[in-house]
Amino acid sequence: MNRDEFKPIYAPWGNGGWYVLNVRYPSGAFGCVSRNYPDQKWRIVCDPRAFDKQPTFDTRDEAAFAEYELTAKTSSARLSPGTPMTDRPRTSSSNSEVPAGDRSKVDVLRFEWRIRGLGTEEYEVFGDGPSYRIELRFEATAYQRSIFNGDEIEWRRDVVAAVGLVWRSCGPDRPLPQRVVDEFNAWRALRHATAMHEICSQPQRYLPIAKDDPHFAPPPVVRGAHYEIGKGWTVHAEPPMPSSGALETPPPTFDTTEWSP
């Protein structure tokens, strides 16, 4: 695929920068480009080369295509990096995509939302062996503290420290594969971007929404973790970050002019 044929599909990245949703690494992770560097040049966030050897680009599209070429060189890639999301097998959240009783055979990771309550959400994971559930905590409120059966030290260790983490609902002492965490973050970003695109592309159906409305902010990147009794949470890895330069999170807006459904 040449530069003219490649049409990148973007979704906001929680740390600043952009996921490239039709670029995939052999691990299953999405591509990601950013210009949150002192020189404001676009770079490939997960470029394996030393920082001083990494190429820079004048535009986001140039960086995205360079990352596409970088992943395309890996012949063992699980999916063709240029395959549009809509053409990939079993990536939908629809139950009809996977025959009943055959969910352990899904060849691409897939997630389904299950339940939300008391500062947490549960999702089911398909494609990593038999299906299982994961849980993430997005808040720790005063009300939740008032009904927590523990002292202040336990509250901070077990609940407050879990904000922004994702873990196995059953067997939280077992680590989550980093591939699952990366794919989950990218799936949430795509889900949010799709919803924002639907709103922005149909002004006749929705009331005007200010661009600084918090609903436009992409979901924060979560980190995988596991819990040890008496010790608390162990975080597996930090989310991918640029090699140098201070991060500057973009304002909570959605760029509809650059979205390709």
Q: Shortest CA distance to 251 belongs to which of 210, 208, 217?
A: 217
Q: Shortest CA distance to 25 belongs to which of 72, 94, 95?
A: 72
Bridge partners (DSSP) listed for residue 166: 136, 224
The strand pair at 165-168 and 110-117 is best described as: unpaired
**CB neighbours of residue 180 within 10 Å:** 20
Q: Shortest CA distance to 236 belongs to which of 183, 158, 173?
A: 173
The reported pLDDT for the residue numbered 238 is 57
Distance spanning both ends of the chain, measured CA to CA: 19
The reported pLDDT for the residue numbered 15 is 57
The strand pair at 165-168 and 223-228 is best described as: parallel
The reported pLDDT for the residue numbered 27 is 61
The strand pair at 43-44 and 132-137 is best described as: unpaired
The reported pLDDT for the residue numbered 74 is 62
The segments of the chain whose pLDDT lies below 70 read: 13-16, 26-28, 74-107, 238-261
CB 46 within 8 A of CB 57: no
pLDDT tens readout for residues 94-117: 333 333 343 333 347 889 999 999
DSSP state of 163: B
Q: Where are the beta strands (DSSP E) in 118-162?
A: 120-126, 132-137
The reported pLDDT for the residue numbered 243 is 33
d(C-alpha 63, C-alpha 259), whole Å: 16
pTM of the model: 0.55
d(C-alpha 155, C-alpha 200), whole Å: 40
Q: Give CA separation, 138 vs 102, 148, 154, 180, 242, in Å.
A: 32, 16, 18, 18, 24
Half-sphere exposure of 64 (CA within 13 A, CB side): 22
Bridge partners (DSSP) listed for residue 35: none
Q: Which two tokens stand for residue 75?
A: 């012949």
Q: Which two tokens stand for residue 194?
A: 């799709």
pLDDT tens readout for residues 118-169: 999 999 999 898 999 999 999 999 999 999 988 999 999 999 999 999 999 9
